[in-house]
């Protein structure tokens, strides 16, 4: 019989929009007495769907009637669109906040990485924060000391370990915080999309460590928009949508459902109203478009013509070595390739403040007739991520080059790529 270490029963979380509290003393007292007597909150509004683009009443359900059982040694992937309730779910499991209704049962110690610098005191050094985090997890000083060298080595910040962490970059913060959480052996490790802040080398190390943690019999909960990482680590995943569990099951099936559903709903353009800002306000991402040679986002795309990915952004303060990365995926979540504008901008020379458009051309006669997914990532290599992986944007190659010529070849292999390669035909007799 599997040993259940984390169980959520009819868990819901409600937030009030705009302000903290109910707004009046009488409502606050009514809420307090109702809770003390085990009754339902009288200020709650039922039947409101959580949508980010509309305001319906003063309350919003971030989660509704969530029921999950997680067993010892299980690695659970949690996926969903922005605003689906993923981070709220992790905060409830980590006891950062409490559920409005329902019950959460936890067996064992929990270590969580929910955002950059979780659990760190900015005035303390890296070394002091290692011991502080260990103490919070209930470890003795002797236990922490036995893991200290491994933590420092894994984090890669040995040179700065005696420096106050307020002087660390976001990438250094995450590397040290993850190293502490993974090496101090909690029974349950919870990791949010925070790993996206680290560089590619550290992400590979972190994923390898989480795999190692799970094989040691501990439980891992992993939230990510990187479907490749979810597929690699998790046999089971849940899909959240609108604060509810939409699907719970085999990771392959959950990812395929999520991506095919997303690709059916997302257009070939994303416009960020006020702009999507980087953490330190160096850059604003304005829009992403997938167009044809006529700059149209509506026309059919064919295999014989190029496809252009256009990224419109504004650099607010000069950035050295930044790059715009376009990642191309299948609807199963397999990454076909990535390409960046790094070399095009003179190999990372400073990019002065100003408005820009980076354009990636996917040549004609390269992709087969299929549906594809695109995400954009903006970073400074080996330093920090400016804009993590964006929402999915999709496009479909609807026909092949010879379809336009009226030539029918009947059934042909349906691989992902269909390049027009050089062939020679020599008559030898």
Give Cα separations from 366 to 91, 215, 305, 339, 404 (angstroms).
44, 41, 9, 15, 16
pLDDT tens column, 7-25: 999 999 988 765 555 556 6
pLDDT at 42: 61
pLDDT tens digits for range 189-232: 888 876 666 666 777 777 788 878 778 888 889 888 777 778 88
| Residue 1 confidence class, pLDDT cut points 50, 70, 90 | low
Whether residue 52 is predicted with pLDDT greater than 50 in this model: the reply is no
- DSSP designation for 40: P
Domain extent listing, the chain: 71-261, 268-403
Instruction: Report which of 97, 75, 135 is spatially closest to residue 13, judged by C-alpha positions.
Output: 97
Q: For residue 199, what pLDDT is reported? A: 66
CATH number of the structural domain 268-403: 2.70.50.60
What proportion of the chain, given as a percentage, has pLDDT over 70?
81
Looking at every residue in the chain, the average pLDDT score rounds to 81
Decide whether 71-261 matches 268-403 in CATH topology: no
- Mention every residue, 6+ apart, whose C-beta is less than 8 A from residue 151: 130, 176, 179, 180, 183, 184
Q: What is the mean pLDDT of residues 170-181?
A: 81
Q: What are the strands, taking DSSP E only, across 4-134?
A: 4-16, 59-71, 75-79, 101-106, 110-113
Going by pLDDT thresholds of 50, 70 and 90, the confidence category of residue 328 is very high
Q: In the predicted model, what is the mean pLDDT of residues 333-340?
A: 86
Tell me how crowded residue 296 is: count the other CB atoms within 10 A of its CB. Answer: 12
Q: Span 403-423, mean pLDDT?
A: 67
CB 66 within 8 A of CB 93: no
User: Rounded to whole angstroms, how far apart are CA atoms 395 and 370?
Assistant: 9
The number of residues making up the chain comes to 429
Helix pair angle (126-136, 170-183), 10° resolution: 40
Q: How many CB atoms lie within 10 A of CB 353?
A: 12
User: Is the pLDDT assigned to residue 55 strictly greater than 70?
Assistant: no
Superfamily of domain 71-261: P-loop containing nucleotide triphosphate hydrolases (3.40.50.300)
Element of type H or E holding 291: strand 283-291
Q: Which residue shows structure tokens 């590397």?
A: 175
What is the rounded distance in angstroms from the CA atom of residue 112 to the CA atom of residue 116? 11
**What's the average model confidence in pLDDT over 139-143?**
84
Catalogue the E-assigned strands of 316-399. Answer: 323-330, 335-340, 354-362, 371-380, 384-387, 393-399
């Amino acid at each position: 019989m599997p040993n259940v270490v984390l169980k959520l029963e009819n868990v819901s979380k409600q937030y009030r929009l705009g302000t903290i509290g109910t707004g009046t003393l009488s409502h606050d007292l009514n809420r307090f007495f109702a809770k003390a007597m085990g009754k339902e909150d009288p200020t709650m509004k039922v039947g409101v769907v959580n949508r980010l683009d509309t305001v319906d009443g003063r309350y919003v359900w971030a989660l509704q009637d969530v029921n999950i059982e997680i067993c010892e040694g299980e690695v659970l992937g949690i996926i969903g669109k922005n605003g689906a309730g993923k981070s709220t779910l992790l905060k409830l499991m980590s006891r950062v906040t409490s559920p409005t209704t329902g019950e959460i049962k936890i067996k064992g110690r929990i270590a969580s990485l929910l955002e950059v610098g979780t659990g760190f005191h900015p005035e303390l050094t890296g070394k002091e924060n290692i011991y502080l985090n260990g103490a919070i997890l209930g470890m003795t000083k002797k236990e922490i000391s036995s893991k200290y060298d491994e933590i420092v080595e894994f984090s890669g910040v040995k040179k700065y370990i005696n420096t106050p962490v307020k002087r660390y970059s976001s990438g250094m913060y995450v590397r040290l915080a993850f190293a502490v959480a993974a090496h101090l052996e909690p029974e349950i490790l919870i990791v949010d999309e925070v790993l996206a802040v680290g560089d590619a080398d550290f992400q590979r190390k972190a994923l390898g460590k989480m795999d190692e943690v799970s094989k040691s019999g501990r439980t891992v909960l992993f939230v990510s928009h990187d479907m490749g990482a979810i597929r690699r680590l998790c046999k089971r995943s849940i899909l959240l949508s609108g604060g509810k569990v939409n699907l719970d099951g085999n990771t392959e099936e959950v990812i395929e459902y999520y991506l095919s559903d997303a690709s059916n709903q997302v257009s070939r353009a994303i416009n960020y109203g006020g702009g999507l800002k980087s953490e330190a306000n160096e850059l604003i991402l304005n829009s992403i478009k997938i167009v044809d040679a006529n700059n149209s986002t509506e026309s059919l795309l064919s295999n014989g013509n190029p496809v252009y990915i256009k990224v419109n952004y504004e650099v607010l303060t000069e950035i050295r070595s930044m790059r715009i990365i376009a990642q191309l995926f299948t609807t199963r979540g397999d990454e076909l390739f990535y390409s960046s504008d790094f070399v095009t901008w003179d190999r990372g020379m400073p990019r002065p403040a100003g408005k820009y458009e980076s354009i990636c051309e996917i040549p004609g006669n390269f992709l087969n007739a299929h549906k594809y997914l695109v995400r954009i990532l903006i970073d400074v290599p080996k330093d920090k991520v400016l804009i993590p992986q964006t929402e999915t944007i999709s496009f479909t190659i609807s026909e092949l080059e010879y379809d336009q010529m009226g030539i029918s070849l009947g059934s042909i292999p349906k691989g992902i790529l269909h390049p027009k390669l050089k062939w020679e035909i020599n008559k030898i007799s």
